[in-house]
Structure 1
Amino acid sequence: MISGDLRKMQATVEGVKNVAYKMRIGENLVPLNDHIGKKVSLSFSGAIHCIHCGKTSKKSFSQGFCFPCFKKLAACDSCIMSPEKCHFHKGTCREPEWAEVHCMQGHYVYLANSSALKVGITRGDQLPTRWLDQGATQARPIFHVANRRLSGLVETLFKEVVADKTNWRNMLKGLDIEFDMYREQERLIELVYEGLDSLQTEFGIEAIEDLSDKNETHEFHYPVLEYPTKITSINAEKTPLVEGTLMGIKGQYWILDTGVINIRKYTGYEAKLAIQE
């Protein structure tokens, strides 16, 4: 049995397409793929510790922060969820030095297939992690842009013609439809071409680099023995002992024979992990 505060699972690609997971609990990294099909349990103590300051918190905000940190940190500002609202250029950023590292650097705009086609953005150093966290089976970068705000402005154009959210229930049912990602990017770019042209006029041609003919489509296979036909979500605050047979892992979810649980949702929660050998 291993105990400690949870963090989101570490996901990497092994070989060409296979996704490998490790559980981050306290100071431990526990490989999970070899335990698919075994009985597992997570026992939550009820304690929550802020992932920034470490203080005990009655509630978790923005996936792992206490309320004071949630209110003051740039990582918790509304522009993190809506990057087109970035206000760094107005001189009102909560933490300009943090933003220089995390926001004022190159970002990718991408298309992903996570049960359906979607558009998304991420920092340059977060691929393919971002795709794996969303449970994408296919993904393709289409633009590289100068900063986070600009990535949000480009994404906003695409949101008019394609979804920007993952249907997590369909993703966990394994309802994957294979797309010709190259053809889809060409179709969507044609629909938003005028808006892209306007952004390049405003920010400069070099601020938005077209990658549509420079990258290949990435594909991912997840360690899942069996997908559920009906999704039953487990709330660890109501059910502090989460146990069952681990049927698979996709995105940041455990798929158990007793239901599914979003591990990332409980970042900072103190828990004990047990795996039946």
Structure 2
Amino acid sequence: MTTWSGNISKMKAFAFPDGKVNYQLPIGDELIEMNTLIGKNISVEYKGQINCIHCSRKTNKSFSQGYCFVCMRGLAQCDTCIIKPELCHYSEGTCREPEWGEANCLQDHIVYLSNTGNVKVGITRHISDNVSSRWIDQGATQALAILRVKERLLSGLVETEISKFIGDKTNWRTMLKGKAKSLDLIEIRDEVLNKVDQKISELQQQYGLQALQTIDTDVVEITYPVNKYPEKIKSINLDKDMTFSGELVGIKGQYLLLDQERVINVRKYAGYCVSLHA
């Protein structure tokens, strides 16, 4: 049996050319190849210590999935506009960290459709080898980039308009209960772009024609390393159940799927100090 100990953060994930996802779990200074543990028994023990994923100081409570209270209140990446990009206030001169905003928000963003059990609209900044890690984090089995916009604020305005016709939230319980039924994202894209055509034209007039452009690309298919999906879901809470063990039957999104219908959202416990035995 091997043991790894240290503070964890959200799993790193990438898709191979065939769409299969590979996961690595950061624990301390190590990256654990999680796909190799599927089908094996693992045990996890929470040591009762949390360290901020930004400044490393000890904190009694985790905020915004891994930050201490001070960082949560001061970092631009923890501001409300990260969850609601249409509220970006960089242009008003009130960004918490203007340099961070320039490097992350004043860059091209992609508006996309994905299938996480139901079709949803979302935004992402990074797409590597045609796949965004955000699609993987949300457990999407299909995704389609539909628009490229020049900055985060504009992507939020477009997402808000499209969300009048398509949801913008992932139902994590639906996502974890099995592979989603395949959807015709091309047809859905054409329908929704037709519905928001006037709004897109208005935004182009306001921000410039090059600030918002449609993308013609193929649907991306994504598959996850799951041997068995739960029929009923029992969520593991590390703050209450400081230890758990069992067979790792799969990984999807940022969730570990264990036997006896149990799941745990790794990202929720970023900064927690744990020991993993496998």
Q: Scaled by the length of structure 2, what TM-score is found?
A: 0.96
Q: Is contact 2:146–2:214 with CA below 8 Å preserved after alignment?
A: yes
Equivalent pair of 2:227/2:250 in contact (CA under 8 Å): yes
Tell me how far apart the structure 2 counterparts of residues 161 and 45 of structure 1 sit (CA, whole Å): 45
Structure 1 position 243, deviation (Å): 1.4
1:5 aligned partner: 7
Q: List aligned pairs for 1:1-277, cutoff 5 A.
A: 1-125=3-127, 127-211=131-215, 214-258=216-260, 259-275=262-278
AA paired with 1:81? I
CA distance in 1, matches of 2:230, 2:127: 33
Which amino acid letter does the alignment assign opposite residue 264 of structure 1? R
Provide the alpha-carbon RMSD of the alignment: 1.0
**Identity across aligned pairs (percent)?**
47
Output the amino acid matched with 2:275: K
Q: Deviations over 1:155-184 (max 9, x none)?
A: 000110001010100100015110111111
Tell me how far 1:235 sits from its aligned partner.
Answer: 0.5
Structure 2 distance, partners of 1:15, 1:110, is 20
8 Å CA contact 1:24–1:30 kept in 2: the answer is yes
Residue ranges of structure 1 left out of the alignment (5+ in a row): none
Structure 2 distance, partners of 1:108, 1:102, is: 13
Report the 3-state secondary structure (helix = DSSP H, G, I; strand = E; otherwise coil) of the residue aligned with 2:192. helix
Q: Distance in 1 between matches of 2:237 and 2:158?
A: 35
CA distance in 2, matches of 1:125, 1:35: 27
The number of equivalent residue pairs is 273
The one-letter code of the counterpart of 1:87 is H
Q: Quick one: which amino acid aligns to residue 141 of structure 1? A: A
CA distance, structure 2, for counterparts of residue 74 and residue 15 of structure 1:
34
- Paired letter, 1:256: L
Contact 2:124 2:132 in 1 (8 A): no
Query: Residue by residue, what CA displacement relative to the aligned partner does 1:187-224 show, whole Å, maximum 9, x if unpaired?
Result: 1111111111111111111100110xx21100011000
Taking the aligned partners of 2:224 and 2:209, their CA distance within structure 1 comes to 38
Equivalent AA in structure 1 for residue 270 of structure 2: T
Structure 2: tracts of 5 or more residues without a match: none
* Whole-Å separation in 2 of the counterparts to 1:104 and 1:242: 43
Q: Secondary structure at the match of 2:134?
A: helix
Q: Equivalent residue of 1:271, what SS?
A: strand
CA shift, 1:15, in A, is 3.3
DSSP 3-state at the match of 1:136: coil
SS of residue paired to 1:124: coil
Q: Distance in 2 between matches of 1:82 and 1:14?
A: 31
Q: Separation in 2 of the partners of 1:14 and 1:269?
A: 29
Question: 1: CA distance between counterparts of 2:217 and 2:22?
Answer: 23
Structure 1 residue runs of 4 or more that deviate by more than 3 Å after TM superposition: 124-127
Deviations 1:54-82 (A, max 9, x none): 10000000111100111111011100000
